[in-house]
Structure 1
Amino acid sequence: MTVGVALNAADAPNQVDATVRLAQEAAAAGLRSAWFGQTFGADSPQLAAIVGREVPGLQVGTSAIPVFGRHPLLVAGQALTAQAATHGRYHLGLALGTKLLTETGFGLPFARPIARLREFLTALRQLTQTGTADFHGELLTATTPVPARVPGADDGVPILVAAMGPQALRVSGELADGILPYLAGPRALADHIVPALTAAAEAADRPAPRVVALVPGVVTDDVDTVRQKATEYLAFYEQIPSYARVLELSNARRASDVAVIGDEKTVAAEVRRYRDAGATEVVFSGTEIAGDENRRRTWALLGELAS
């Protein structure tokens, strides 16, 4: 099983330089992948491309670009460029996004998100695989009067979706290479998410999808203090319906209840629980909330688990 980390250096004097340094440290610890979030700040495909060039051998990915406010032609160009820059080590993550950020940030109605995801994936798959598209949907049009291919990215780009609800899982199983669930505990994965995803892929005669579980977690001896920080750090997600639902399915009251916090033995056991629940890859996030010492301790353990 691949083990990776989500890197967040948004508070550094120079986010790009700091992210490269973190990625080098992660790779030295034995971690296999580094993932980058996407909000309204740094462009995550560019960040992934830079890190992938600077840290050879490390898989890099975006987790995840919302489909609202973007177009498949533009996202395909970003993803293919990152794939060429990293010589095949880039993984593109997409997300529905949220009503709050979509309508407040872009001034767009958060309407028919599943239909938009389906059309976005259909057009994007054509573009990343062939460099051409002739797609005319209800919500999106994507055609290529001139080729959209990027030499050096001829094998395409793995596409994953931050899907956790039944409809998004069905679309992802049919059209994507896997999913990027966040705040979904082992119970939600094993009982709800993985079975629905697998069934959709099988019905579409597609290979078994990847399940890249993003897990907030830290190795520490000061469990109570770090969990309190995690409660504050993760509280934002509790107001978003998709996360509230998956937390309930995980038998969690607060988002921090699914955070993996404890000593090495405790955290290793929880990583194994995610594997047993169907995760093909585990990516730890939020390690920065507990300070550099605990972050390095966390990465050292994850590197051992990755080997």
Structure 2
Amino acid sequence: MADDLRLGLNLGYWQRDPVDATDLVRTAERLGYESVWTAEAYGSDAFTPLAWYGARTSRIKLGTSVAQMSARPPVTTAMTAMTLDHLTGGRLLLGIGASGPQVVEGWYGQPFGRPLARTREYVEIMRKVWRREEPVTSPGPHHPLPLPGGLGKPLKLITHPLRAEIPLYLGAEGPKNVALATEVAQGWLPLFAHPEKIGSMYGEALAGAGPGFDIAAMVLVVVTDDLRSALDAVKTMLTLYIGGMGARTRNFHADIVGRMGYAEAAERIQDLYLAGRRDEAFAAIPDELADGIALLGPIGRIRERLDLWRKSPVTNLLVMGPRDEPTLAVIRDLVLG
């Protein structure tokens, strides 16, 4: 239970049109938001916007939610993180994730197999890079260093990192991956978190979390008197993720909705979406699911529903959706008091 929730702003990734959110980030910093986060799928990358916003702010922490491991070798991510951490005075929070087979194989042209082992190896290599205790080597099998049979030799990072231990978060949806986060990272970034179900869904996986482990949940927040329109906004997002953000036989977003107790609905949503019947897929999403993973409605209703989050294992709300100062201020007041 987290009586004192922390608060961040999640900007996500660019949709069709690029968006410079500098004014919004500066406002969030001024209002006392602890962190701002960017993401990547197969459009804008996660690091470049953070560098842009970091150059225009002074205190707010800068997080990737998440940087896709298949987009970069681990040493590249380690170099990028070290560089950005230096330039922003130690404000980086590095969130990484395995993504899913549709993106990994379809966009990056890499095999998706063994995400847990790949993640562990990836993290170990990055930490070796930052610590600079010796030239970096790794037996693999996913990222062997140096390349077996080649002409390379082990190398050590030229630049001394500002911090040898950059805070690391894992984007994870399956229980085994969440358990790995408690072992190798400082935090977990759940995409779809239901405050009334997250404890039962992940209690065993979170058992190994030490003091200070940060569960930073991405939560869509819509302050409005029109609850119906707010529910529909969440359902629009869920339609895409459950229906189309994954292969028919392997969709982690559909899986997590199934573990929440909506397995039949998730299967129907995916079938309808892949059949091109997207309006029907949208209609098949239960309102209670959309309501459960978000904070929607008038201020009073959001205040009441925040109690569910305070009673959950979640420690950090990364709010998505607000794009103006009055709304950011209202959310700040509700969450931080």
State the TM-score bracket (shorter-chain normalisation).
0.7 to 0.9
Closer/same/farther in 2, CA of residues 150 and 218 from structure 1, 3 Å limit: farther
Work out whether residues 190 and 218 of structure 2, in 8 Å CA contact, stay in contact via their aligned partners in 1. Answer: yes
Q: Which has the larger radius of gyration?
A: 2
Letter in 1 for 2:303: A
1:61-88 per-position Cα deviation (integer Å, ceiling 9, x unaligned): 0000122232110000111111111111
TM-score normalised by the chain length of structure 1: 0.86
Aligned structure 1 segments of 4 or more residues deviating by more than 6 angstroms: none
1:189 pairs, out of 190, 195, 198, with: 198
- Could you say which residue in structure 2 is the equivalent of 1:299? 328
1:200-255 per-position Cα deviation (integer Å, ceiling 9, x unaligned): x4xxxx55521111112211112111221221133221134322232233345536
- Could you say which residue in structure 1 is the equivalent of 2:70? 68
Describe how 1:11-90 pairs up with structure 2 within 5 A.
15=19, 18-90=20-92
Pair 1:120-2:122 in alignment: yes
- Could you say which residue in structure 2 is the equivalent of 1:277? 312
1:256 pairs, out of 290, 294, 298, with: 290
- The more displaced of 64-73 and 247-256 is 247-256
Q: d(CA) in 2 for partners of 1:64 and 1:12?
A: 19
- Could you say which residue in structure 1 is the equivalent of 2:301? 266
Work out whether residues 136 and 154 of structure 2, in 8 Å CA contact, stay in contact via their aligned partners in 1. Answer: no
Deviation at 1:11?
5.5
Q: d(CA) in 2 for partners of 1:129 and 1:276?
A: 37
Deviation at 1:155?
4.0
- Partner of 1:115, secondary structure, is helix
- Could you say which residue in structure 2 is the equivalent of 1:156? 165
Letter in 2 for 1:220: T
Closer/same/farther in 2, CA of residues 54 and 160 from structure 1, 3 Å limit: same
Deviation at 1:7?
1.5
Closer/same/farther in 2, CA of residues 124 and 279 from structure 1, 3 Å limit: same
- The more displaced of 119-128 and 6-15 is 6-15
Pair 1:139-2:152 in alignment: no
Pair 1:227-2:231 in alignment: yes
Q: d(CA) in 2 for partners of 1:112 and 1:12?
A: 32
- Partner of 1:272, secondary structure, is helix
Q: d(CA) in 1 for partners of 2:207 and 2:130?
A: 23
Number of equivalent positions: 294
- Partner of 1:127, secondary structure, is helix
Structure 2 alignment gaps of length 5 or more: 147-152, 266-284
TM-score normalised by the chain length of structure 2: 0.79
Q: d(CA) in 2 for partners of 1:277 and 1:163?
A: 18
Q: d(CA) in 2 for partners of 1:214 and 1:149?
A: 36
Work out whether residues 238 and 244 of structure 1, in 8 Å CA contact, stay in contact via their aligned partners in 2. Answer: yes
1:177-200 per-position Cα deviation (integer Å, ceiling 9, x unaligned): 11100112113321122541232x
Closer/same/farther in 2, CA of residues 56 and 218 from structure 1, 3 Å limit: same
- Partner of 1:145, secondary structure, is coil
Pair 1:4-2:14 in alignment: no
Work out whether residues 68 and 98 of structure 2, in 8 Å CA contact, stay in contact via their aligned partners in 1. Answer: yes
1:94 pairs, out of 93, 96, 120, with: 96
1:243 pairs, out of 247, 253, 263, with: 253
2:181 pairs, out of 166, 172, 181, with: 172
Q: d(CA) in 1 for partners of 2:56 and 2:38?
A: 15
Q: d(CA) in 1 for partners of 2:142 and 2:15?
A: 37
Greater length-normalized contact order (CA 8 Å, ≥ 6 residues apart): 2
Deviation at 1:29?
3.1
Structure 1 alignment gaps of length 5 or more: none
Deviation at 1:34?
0.7
Deviation at 1:176?
1.2
